[in-house]
Amino acid sequence: MSSTSNSVAIVGAGIIGINIGLELQRRGFAVCLYDREPLDSTARASAGNAGAFAFTDVMPLATPGIMRKAPKWLFDPLGPLSIPPQYAPKIAPWMLRFWRASWPDRFAAGVTAQSRLMAHSRDALERLVESVQGEHLLLRQGQIQLYESEAEFQATAPEWNLRREHGIPFELLDSPEAIAERQPGLSRQFTHAGYTPTWFNVVDPQTWTQHLAQTFLERGGRFEAVAVNRLGQEGNEAVLQTDQGPRRAEFAVVAAGAYSHHLSQTLGEPVPLETERGYNTTLPAGAFDLRLHLTFAGHGFVVTSNKGGVRVGGAVELGGLRRPPNYRRSDILLEKAARFMPGLDTTNGERWMGFRPSLPDSLPVLDRSAKAQRILYAFGHGHTGLTQAAGTAELIADVLTQQPPSIDLAPFRLNRFR
């Protein structure tokens, strides 16, 4: 792309980049997406995630007291939140920031910021769905969060109180019979639950992402399959150094997910970004009569509908970009799901692992570079990228066009890590 007036180069063609491209198109910009993967790649987290718009999920990973659990993570490589022992020294600085984010003052501020971003993203998604005629790709079924005892349920009372304070509707269920009215076929070991009716999913995240990508192209957007290696600014142009030569535009947006910090580093702006390696298994149609999104709270995984089939996934592994997948994690989740959902047909499943960009406080970076004013950052959404993509797109477009954003962006500034 040779630089022209109102041109924007977006690095990253996942769900965040595509949403930003659509929004900037709507505001009159000529947009080109750049990504080393093909536009229809299934390797991205945008393709293999649980497909949930988790607007009620306002709790960060770093909750008060969580560091008391940290030692056992190192010795449980198949647990719901684990760190491979060999990776522990490398992730230690990130874990220190994670610990600080769990302190009550930071935690409360993080929940407030996340709640505002979620509310804005929910409204932005409805605008996007109408714009791209995407209602047929949604499942508005709600979610149920399951607990195995009253004690386990009571331990989560502060989370439900926070949801109430932030206006998130829910219904609490206190018996297996009440749970079965929402979702038949679950083990009676689940005695308590919380039902959130406003939760909804896509029929398949890859189908949703491709629908948005096709709309982007039909509206005049461009895509180039190139690897971007370095960022810069020359005069009033953003410059991307790629494996096929430089690309120039009036503005550039970095939305490269788990690889974004490598690019910000080329501008001298380090970011403490780690990689949540998410695992799942997708079962074909007919595997189970699933009525809504299931969250097995004490075991760190979810079960969702996917093109008529069932996707069993979750379990965060903080292990970087280079370690090979440990698909035993997928198998463990599937084995648990079979115990919790008698009648689940676990045959003919397809396993997957993807990278999610995770910052210590569970909040993304939504900001303009301090080193190159023509370059903006939009990354670090962790496991809420699909959820917050439409809201992120509107906010980044506001920053780029110097319009007042709909929410306070101070909690999402890059300099919060300095």
With 90 as the cut, is the pLDDT of residue 18 above it?
yes
Domain end among 324, 358, 392: 358
Shared domain check, 45 and 180: no
Structure tokens at 362: 């569970």
Confidence tier at 43 by pLDDT (50, 70, 90): confident
Shared domain check, 226 and 144: no
> CA 144, CA 141: separation in Å to the nearest integer?
10
Shared domain check, 22 and 156: no
Domain holding 21, by residue range, is: 1-62+102-138+201-270+360-418
Domains in the chain: how many in total?
Answer: 2
Which of 55-59, 182-186, 194-198, 264-268 shows the lowest mean pLDDT across its residues?
Answer: 55-59
Find out whether 111 and 60 touch, Cβ atoms under 8 Å: yes
Confidence tier at 382 by pLDDT (50, 70, 90): very high
Shared domain check, 37 and 164: no
**Residues near 98 by Cβ (< 8 Å), separated by ≥ 6?**
61, 62, 67, 360, 361
With 80 as the cut, is the pLDDT of residue 366 above it?
yes
Find out whether 263 and 238 touch, Cβ atoms under 8 Å: no
Q: What is the pLDDT of residues 248-276, one digit of tens each?
A: 999 999 999 999 999 999 999 999 999 98
First to last CA, the chain: 34
Instruction: Say how far residue 354 (Cα) sits from the centre of its chain.
Output: 11
Average pLDDT over residues 37-53: 89
Average pLDDT over residues 173-177: 97
Shared domain check, 261 and 349: no
SS3 251: strand
With 90 as the cut, is the pLDDT of residue 298 above it?
no
Considering only the C-alpha atoms of the chain, give the largest distance between any 2 of them, rounded to a whole number of Å.
67
In this prediction the pTM is 0.94
Average pLDDT over residues 133-147: 96
β-sheet bridge partners, residue 155: none
